[in-house]
Structure 1
Amino acid sequence: MSSEVIEVCAREEPPEAWDAAVFLAGPTPRTPDVASWRPGARAALREQWRGPGRLVVLDPEHRHGIHDDYTGQVDWEERCLNLADEVLFYVPRALDTMPAFTTNVEWGMWHDSGKAVFGAPPEAPKNDYLRHYAAKLDVPTATDVPGTVALALERIGRGAPRTAGEREVPLMIWRTASFQQWYAAQRGAGNTLLGARVEWRFGLHWGLHVRVHVTAEDRVKANEVVFSRPDISTVVLYRRGRSLGDTAVVLVREFRSPASTPDGFVHELPGGSGPSDPLARAVAEVAEETGLSLAPQRLRAHTDRQLNATMSAHRAHLFSAEVTEDELAVLRASGPGGVAADGERTYVEIATYAEIARDRLVDWSMLGMIAQVLTDSEDC
């Protein structure tokens, strides 16, 4: 695929497909005798773009200098800001000719979006507040147009081909394994993504308000948000008893902010997410949260499923291992575990399956995983 840069000016319709899109945010000159910074930005983007596909530049200045519809202009900018993979802020503020009042508002809306870069000449006045938040939120910064363009393109990389509704999923979410897993499932079912809007993002966690054409019902579903995070590995450590109810299960107690339990803690299975494969992550989480070191071959893989399919797209990869009486004794005597640097502190608890079910010790997802493992173990 050949490299291409397409410039879309105010009120013009963006193309139906691209590999990356950049919105040029910043002040527009109030009079024709003041030169705009945007032609230089467009030239720098054409010069620096090395992707194999199509880069779209979304420029809120009119191609012929016509400003005839304020509401239409605002609507176009809002739409294109949401479409952009990167919002390139360049603020050569001049209080008499380019005061950048609207830019201040846009910066306030997008500075923590995860897709903003910031540039401004050192001598431009009244930018200290903007620079403060750029530094606080680790927004990449530069002091000239080519440098700011380079920052945006560095994060874009080679981009990713998207068409129609896919364009509304920015690269920072499109590239996550959790989004691709969810989207592959939707496409496999024959459904079409008609549109999306980022409602929330925190690291690799995200929430998308999506519009999906449900092919099996020939209708559009547009009133839900898909949340997701990296998949987790979860481990059921158990010691078989005389009956299913007598089987001992290892839990960890940990303070988690969303918990609405009587003690404010969650009581759950050892587990978590990370960059390693699910089995390696399972072994690591058991060691971190319980202090028990297990050889990978001791873990039995079960299946992976969503934990809350009406809300979150991420999945739990389920593993189990039967522990010995000696290992149970070590676990009962263990001290706090977890990774302190991540704000994690865990305590081992051991309960029978009957106690877990009767005393409501775990949530429904944990109870289901425990039941799956103990049912599977009965068949062995």
Structure 2
Amino acid sequence: MASMITIVYAREEPPDQWSAAVFLAGPTPRSEGVSSWRPEAIAELRARWRGDGRLVVFVPEHRHRRYDDYTGQVEWEERCLHLSDAVLFYVPREPATMPAFTTNVEWGMWHDSGRAVFGAPPEAPGNRYLLHYAAKSGVPVADDLPGTVAAALDRIGPGAPRTGGEREVPLLLWHEPTFRHWYAAQRGAGNVLVGARVVLRFGNCWALHVRVRVAAEDRVKDNEIVIGRPDISTVVLYRPGAELDGTDVVLVREFRSPGAAADGFVHELPGGSGTAGGPLRTALDEVAEETGLVLAPGRLREHGPRQVNATLSAHRAHLFSAEVTADELARLARSGPHGLAADGEITHVEVVPFGRIRRERLVDWATLGMIAEVLSPRSGPAAPDAPGRCAS
């Protein structure tokens, strides 16, 4: 599809399909004698857009400079801000003619959304506070309109075609692997994403309030959120005993804020998420980081991926296991602490018989299930391309 730009003015209905969308946020002239900065921004976008598909530009000015419905205007702006992949703030503030009071409020709502860029002429007054939070939130900043437009397009990239409810998933989530896997499963089941709204972003974690048409039940479900984070790799290190309950399992004890155990710690398997190298490499790195044990790749057995909490989170755990020697087990029991203290991670190795893990409820149900899967006499490698399926 050839590149094109569609301008959507205040109170106009957005098109049903696009590859990227940008909202032009900033002060709007209220008198005929003051020119708007937005026509120049539109011209810059026309000249610079090189994405493969339609770029939609939301302009919160009436096509004919009329503002006859305040509530309708506000609701239109809120809707289109959430539809946007980039929120371009340009603030050529002029206290007498463009004080930008509404812009200040919008900036407070969107500066840490991951979608904002900020620009203002150096001489524009009253922007010091906004610039402070731009720096604090890592928002791209420019001191002229061409630079601000360039920053917005850089944030968007080439875009991605989206239709209907897909438009409500911003590009910063659309490309997330966890979202892509979840959405592919929904589409494979014949379900339709009717709508979505980002309700949380924190680091590499996100939460999306979704409206999904459930094909098998012919209804729309809209009362849940999907939480996402990068997939994790988890490793069961064990030493077989005479019976199942006597099999020693390596746990790590770590303070994690959501934990609600009696000792205030979480007792879990070594594991975590990585950004490169794939699940196997992540598994090896996490074992070394959290226990001090360095394993050769060939020692890990793969059991496949499953969701950890399918009623809440879309991310998966890629499960691996390795049988350790008696000497390795003894060294593990004496080692530590481990982890990355600079990142708030301090881990302590615990070697615990499986029977005690069960009886004393040391781990959560998901962790207990992973251990049981590995220690099951029938457990074996799972097909790597079959999410949610364990070999049996």
Q: TM-score when scaled to structure 1?
A: 0.99
1:82-107 residue CA offsets vs partner (Å, 9 max, x unmatched): 00000000000100000000001100
Q: Which amino acid aligns with 1:208?
A: L
Q: 2:367, 2:379 → 1: CA distance?
A: 18
1:265-311 residue CA offsets vs partner (Å, 9 max, x unmatched): 10000000011200010010000000000001100001211010000
Q: 2:221, 2:342 → 1: CA distance?
A: 41
Q: 2:296, 2:258 → 1: CA distance?
A: 33
Match of 1:294 in 2: 295
- Once the two structures are TM-superposed, the CA of residue 341 in structure 1 deviates from its matched residue by 2.7
Match of 2:161 in 1: 161
1:330-366 residue CA offsets vs partner (Å, 9 max, x unmatched): 1011011112232111000010000000011101110
Q: Which amino acid aligns with 1:187?
A: R
Match of 2:30 in 1: 30
Q: 2:174, 2:148 → 1: CA distance?
A: 23
- Once the two structures are TM-superposed, the CA of residue 378 in structure 1 deviates from its matched residue by 7.0
Q: Which amino acid aligns with 2:18?
A: W
Q: Which segment is superposed worse, 254-263 or 312-321? A: 254-263
Q: 1:352, 1:210 → 2: CA distance?
A: 42
Match of 1:147 in 2: 147
Match of 2:14 in 1: 14
Q: Which amino acid aligns with 1:320?
A: S
SS of the counterpart of 1:199? strand
Q: 2:232, 2:332 → 1: CA distance?
A: 22
Task: State how 1:1-380 maps to structure 2 within 5 Å.
Answer: 1-275=1-275, 276-376=277-377
Q: 2:67, 2:148 → 1: CA distance?
A: 27
Following TM superposition, the consecutive aligned residue runs of length 4 or more in structure 1 with deviations greater than 2 angstroms are 376-380
Flag structure 2 segments of 5+ consecutive residues without an equivalent: 382-392
Q: 1:341, 1:330 → 2: CA distance?
A: 25
RMSD: 1.0
Identity rate, percent = 70
Match of 2:387 in 1: none
1:204–1:230 Cα contact (<8 Å) kept: yes
SS of the counterpart of 1:245? helix
2:248–2:352 Cα contact (<8 Å) kept: yes
1:221-256 residue CA offsets vs partner (Å, 9 max, x unmatched): 000000010000000000000000000000000111
Q: 2:108, 2:65 → 1: CA distance?
A: 26
Name the CA shift for 1:377/1:236 in 2 (closer, same or farther; >3 Å): farther
Q: 1:222, 1:259 → 2: CA distance?
A: 29
Q: 1:243, 1:379 → 2: CA distance?
A: 19
Q: 2:103, 2:377 → 1: CA distance?
A: 59
1:176–1:204 Cα contact (<8 Å) kept: no
Q: 1:42, 1:379 → 2: CA distance?
A: 58
SS of the counterpart of 1:328? helix
Q: 1:254, 1:170 → 2: CA distance?
A: 34
1:23–1:59 Cα contact (<8 Å) kept: yes
Q: 1:294, 1:257 → 2: CA distance?
A: 29
- Once the two structures are TM-superposed, the CA of residue 203 in structure 1 deviates from its matched residue by 2.4
Q: 2:23, 2:156 → 1: CA distance?
A: 13
Q: Which amino acid aligns with 2:120?
A: A
Flag structure 1 segments of 5+ consecutive residues without an equivalent: none
